[in-house]
């Protein structure tokens, strides 16, 4: 989303965030999105995070402290629940646990990630849609350098409940 940003939480000029990003040497990143998300854990409990998306990375913050920094190139795909007004998505990651998130900014999050992924890799990011039971597609085991074959992502060739999206709405 070159040239566009959506700072829902007004964090891009927050001194504590600027200091945090300066300390992690990310000032070369162009920040494009901030928003609140809830991570849904395997026991169905939820944790509140702030998500910052730059042109290169995803930053999950807790109380304005960096919890996790993920290069966008480590994202294997995104699964979204197709129910009307659903807030559920799973971000599949090749070096980390998958992140099952709920957010009112789901579509914006998907769009920022997929366009930045395309810009960085020159490849389309697989976006999967499932009708129900999104939690069945979470890889909860952290395996260093796992491949896309060992991630639990919808197999659209054999699963009629799944739909693969490659849309690039600009």
Specify if 79 maps to a domain.
Answer: yes
Specify if 1 maps to a domain.
Answer: no
Residue 28 has pLDDT above 50, yes or no: yes
pLDDT band at 154 (very low <50, low <70, confident <90, very high): low
Specify if 41 maps to a domain.
Answer: yes
Question: What is the rounded CA–CA span in Å between residue 119 and residue 14?
Answer: 27
Closest CA to 107 of 35, 162, 48: 35
| Predicted pLDDT at 49 | 95
pLDDT band at 167 (very low <50, low <70, confident <90, very high): very low
Specify if 38 maps to a domain.
Answer: yes
Specify if 30 maps to a domain.
Answer: yes
Query: Which residues 6+ apart lie within 8 Å of 120 measured at CB?
Result: 55, 56, 72, 73
Specify if 111 maps to a domain.
Answer: yes
What percentage of residues in the chain have a pLDDT greater than 70? 74
Specify if 77 maps to a domain.
Answer: yes
- The pTM for the full model equals 0.78
Residue span of the structural domain in which 113 resides? 6-165
Q: Give me the mean pLDDT over the 53-80 stretch.
A: 90
CATH code, domain with 19 = 2.30.29.30
Q: Give me the mean pLDDT over the 26-47 stretch.
A: 84
Question: What is the rounded CA–CA span in Å between residue 60 and residue 67?
Answer: 6
| Predicted pLDDT at 42 | 83
DSSP reduced 3-state for 134: helix
Range with the poorest average pLDDT among 16-20, 144-148, 155-159: 144-148
Specify if 137 maps to a domain.
Answer: yes
| Predicted pLDDT at 159 | 39
pLDDT single digits (tens) 88-140: 999 998 877 889 999 999 999 999 999 999 999 999 999 988 888 888 888 75
* 67's tokens: 């919890």
Residue 145 has pLDDT above 80, yes or no: no
| Average pLDDT of the chain, as a whole number | 78
Count of domains for the chain: 1
């Amino acid at each position: 989303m070159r040239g566009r940003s959506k700072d829902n939480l007004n964090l891009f000029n927050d001194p504590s965030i600027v200091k945090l990003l300066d300390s992690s040497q990310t000032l070369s990143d162009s920040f494009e999105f901030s928003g609140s998300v809830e991570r849904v854990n395997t026991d169905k409990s939820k944790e509140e995070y702030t998500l910052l998306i730059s042109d290169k990375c995803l930053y999950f913050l807790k109380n304005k402290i960096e919890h996790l920094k993920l290069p966008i190139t480590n994202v294997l795909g995104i699964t979204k629940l197709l129910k009307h007004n659903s807030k559920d998505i799973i971000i599949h990651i090749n070096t980390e646990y998958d992140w099952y998130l709920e957010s009112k900014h789901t579509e914006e999050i998907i769009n920022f990630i997929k366009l930045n992924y395309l810009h960085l890799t020159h490849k389309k990011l697989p976006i999967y849609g499932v009708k129900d039971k999104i939690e069945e597609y979470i890889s909860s085991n952290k395996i260093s350098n796992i491949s896309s074959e060992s991630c639990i992502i919808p197999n659209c060739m054999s699963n009629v409940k799944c739909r693969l999206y490659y849309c690039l709405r600009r």
